[in-house]
Amino acid sequence: MNSIRLIWGPTLAALCCLWLMPGTGRAEPAEIRVYQGQKLHPFHRTYDNSIRGPQTVDAKKLRFKIDGLVAKPQRLTYARLLRLPHVRRVVTMPCVEGWSERLLYDAVRLKDVIMLAVAKPGVKTVIFHAADGYTSSLTWAWVQKHEVLLGFRINGLVLDKKRGFPFQVIAPGKLGYKWVKWVVAITLSDKPYRGYWERRGYSNEANAN
Ligand SMILES: Nc1nc2c(c(=O)[nH]1)N[C@H]1C(S)=C(S)[C@@H](COP(=O)(O)O)O[C@H]1N2
Ligand SMILES: [Mo]
C-alpha cells in the first residue's frame, strides 16, 4: 500500500507541472473552427495549387511597397500595416477548379492601405505582386464599390508560409485566382492589367457566378 502511495504522489505532481508549464501547447492560440454558428474549413491542409508552392517571407525584413500612380509611394513594415483598423469576416473563396473554402479572416481594408499612398486621379487598376512572382489585379472601380481586404489571420491563426504570409487578398465575389497570397507590393496603374492566370486565358473579371 505504501509503495503505491509513493509512486502516485510524484507522478501526480509531475503531471500537474507539465500541464502548467508554459510552452507545452498553450502558447499557440487554438484555431477557431466554428464562428457565429458557421462551420469553417481547417487552416491546415495538405492541398496546394499555388504556382511555386509555399513561400517564406521574413516579417522583420518586409517593406510592403505601394507605387505607380500615387502621390506618396510607400515602403511599409508589417507592424505599420497591422496598426490599421482590423475587420473580421467569414468569407467563401471559390476556385475555378470547382472547390471552395469558407474561412474566418482577420484583415485590414485595402482602401485604408492605399490611402496611405494617396491615389492620383486616373487610376484604373490595382495590381498585386506576390513573393512567388504571381500577380493579379482588380479594377479601381470594383475596389471602390466593394470591401476588398488584406487578410493576415485565418481562423484566428497568423498566416504561415503555406497560407500566404504576410497577406492574402480577399475579394468576395471573385474567383480564387484574384485572392493573391504572399502579397508584398501593390501598384496603381492607369492601364488594364492581366495577371498570371488571366494571361493564360482566364477571365480578367473573374466573377464567381
Ligand atoms: N501568390 C499566389 N497567390 C495565389 C496563387 C498562387 O499560385 N500564387 N493561386 C491562386 C489560386 S488559383 C487560388 S484558387 C487561391 C487558393 O487560395 P488558398 O490557398 O487560400 O485556398 O490562391 C490564389 N492566389
Ligand atoms: Mo484557383
| Segment 66-106, tens digit of pLDDT | 999 999 999 999 999 999 999 999 999 998 889 999 999 99
- In a domain, residue 165? The reply is yes
Report pLDDT for 134. 98
| Segment 134-192, tens digit of pLDDT | 999 999 999 999 999 999 999 999 999 999 999 999 999 999 999 999 999 999 999 99
- In a domain, residue 35? The reply is yes
- In a domain, residue 205? The reply is no
Question: Looking up cell 513573393, which residue turns up?
Answer: 131
- As a whole number of angstroms, the distance between CA 196 and CA 201 comes to 9
Higher pLDDT, 20 or 123: 123
Higher pLDDT, 19 or 143: 143
Q: What's phi and psi for 37, nearest 5 deg?
A: 80, -5
- How confident is the model over 51-78, as a mean pLDDT? 98
Q: Is 179 in the pocket of ligand 1 (CB under 6 A)?
A: yes
Q: Is the pLDDT of residue 107 over 70?
A: yes
Number of domains in the chain: 1
Mean of per-residue pLDDT scores for the chain? 92
Nearest by Cα to 135 from 36, 63, 52: 52
Supply the pTM of this predicted model. Answer: 0.89
- In a domain, residue 50? The reply is no
Ligand 1 binding pocket mutation candidate from 137, 181, 183 (most atoms within 8 A of CB): 181
- Report which ligand 1 atom has the smallest distance to the Cα of 50: 7
- In a domain, residue 102? The reply is yes
Q: Is the pLDDT of residue 30 over 90?
A: yes
Quick one: CA dihedral 124, 130, 135, 136, positive or negative?
negative
Provide the pLDDT confidence category of residue 27 given band limits of 50, 70 and 90: confident
- In a domain, residue 112? The reply is yes
Q: Is 101 in the pocket of ligand 1 (CB under 6 A)?
A: yes
- In a domain, residue 209? The reply is no
Q: What's phi and psi for 11, nearest 5 deg?
A: -60, -45
Report pLDDT for 28. 80
The amino acid occupying position 184 is V
- In a domain, residue 123? The reply is yes
Provide the pLDDT confidence category of residue 4 given band limits of 50, 70 and 90: low
How many angstroms does the Cα of residue 205 sit away from the middle of ligand 1? 16
Q: Is the pLDDT of residue 209 over 90?
A: no
CA distances from residue 197 to 50, 76, 201 in whole angstroms, order as listed: 11, 27, 7
| Spatial contact of 187 and 129, defined as CB atoms under 8 Å apart | yes
In terms of residue numbers, what domain contains 85? 4-43+57-200
Question: Is residue 74 within a helix (H) or strand (E), and if so which, with residue range?
Answer: strand 74-76
Question: What's 126's domain CATH number?
Answer: 3.90.420.10
